[in-house]
Structure 1
């Protein structure tokens, strides 16, 4: 009798239908609702980042003279008459202080405090931004091309421009400060010009104005560097270092002065 009851209960238990799929569906719906809520909260709590660049907004000037001068002698006639004073430049990577060598914009909050802004960012690292802006500006000013990292023909004067940024300060509503030591060296020669640029550009309170101030500061430095390249090129032809002696080295070239503006220049020069 007891066995019959147990057998009957077991049969009843086996026949009892159990709902399938409903708990899983409810769990999936809850998970989707939670994910949507978290996404909405994240969208509200994280404003979109804005990216800035020091790159020039206009197309580069024509450099046909420099290209013709850089072409092999046999191709010069086909390319047109080359400018006899044409030259090439090399602009290697620019060094910047480690505290600003990041994509986030670093602004001065006081004499001894800075703020790192997560939403205001450079489109590339500040050193790359400065190098690209400087290269483009110098190419326009000198009617030439930047051949850094590229082969170039022998017999064309090449001037290597090295820049070490010592201050790159952002003071919203006050000024954008650029202080750098730079040098121009004739490749294959011991002739070198070493100078310093200090530019402090007044800026408005918004970040677009701050970036524009940094762009003007870089432009001021490039104007001085371009003048230095011209002065070094005019001091004498570039010769191989092996053929130079103390008697044949060009005379020291003075550093170019800064153009009138809220900027200063305290420079030194050398040859050798």
Structure 2
């Protein structure tokens, strides 16, 4: 059998490589931060918040999106090519911080920038549930504790909700974004109530 010239073999290998690259699906990245939450409107009196790292279930502590298939029972799909822009717990903390700050007109000083004489609202959030069900809905449940840095009094609250979604991973990501924004609104509502009345009852649920 006659051997093919090396130049022809090289051309064939290159064409196969290009074809393989053309058919591969590029990675896609998503954010939990809603665009409207990006820039807070400053409050008349400076308000500072400190948001601790969000405690999330270990199965969610990854950049890949986790999706439950309809009719898939207990099976969960880890989507390697559909990822959050950071590890899920970091993405969630940043989105919540932006959402709370935006609604309160507050400054997030979690990473510094606050003088010791300036009190801040310290917020610790725990994610109880975050289930993305393909072409159906996103179910989420949060609990949190709020305490002012110059006080020993703390308040605990929780929120749970469900966001309907349409077909596709983009729709799931937007549903997750809306659920996160709703949680941020609930936390901000409680902080606002505590600003007015330090003994205010939980106003985040619902």
Find the partner of 1:60 among 32, 36, 39.
Answer: 39
Paired residues in the alignment total: 200
Q: Which has the larger radius of gyration?
A: 1
TM-score by length of 2: 0.86
Higher relative contact order (CA 8 A, sep 6+): 2
Paired with 1:112 and 1:122, the residues of 2 have a C-alpha distance of: 23
Q: Provide the residue aligned with 1:133 in structure 2.
A: 95
Q: Provide the residue aligned with 1:226 in structure 2.
A: 188
Find the partner of 1:51 among 21, 25, 29.
Answer: 29
Q: Which has the higher helix share?
A: 1
Q: Provide the residue aligned with 2:47 in structure 1.
A: 87
TM-score by length of 1: 0.67
Paired with 1:254 and 1:88, the residues of 2 have a C-alpha distance of: 21
Please tell me whether the aligned partners of residues 96 and 168 of structure 1 are also in contact (alpha carbons under 8 angstroms): no
Q: Provide the residue aligned with 1:107 in structure 2.
A: 67
> Unpaired segments of 5 or more residues in structure 1?
1-25, 66-82, 237-250, 259-263, 265-272
> Unpaired segments of 5 or more residues in structure 2?
none
Matched, 1:185 2:155: no
Q: Provide the residue aligned with 1:207 in structure 2.
A: 169
Find the partner of 2:201 among 254, 257, 260.
Answer: 254
Per the TM alignment, residue 141 of structure 1 is displaced from its structure 2 partner at its CA by 0.9
Paired with 1:257 and 1:35, the residues of 2 have a C-alpha distance of: 59
Moved over 4 A (4+): none
Paired with 1:61 and 1:233, the residues of 2 have a C-alpha distance of: 18
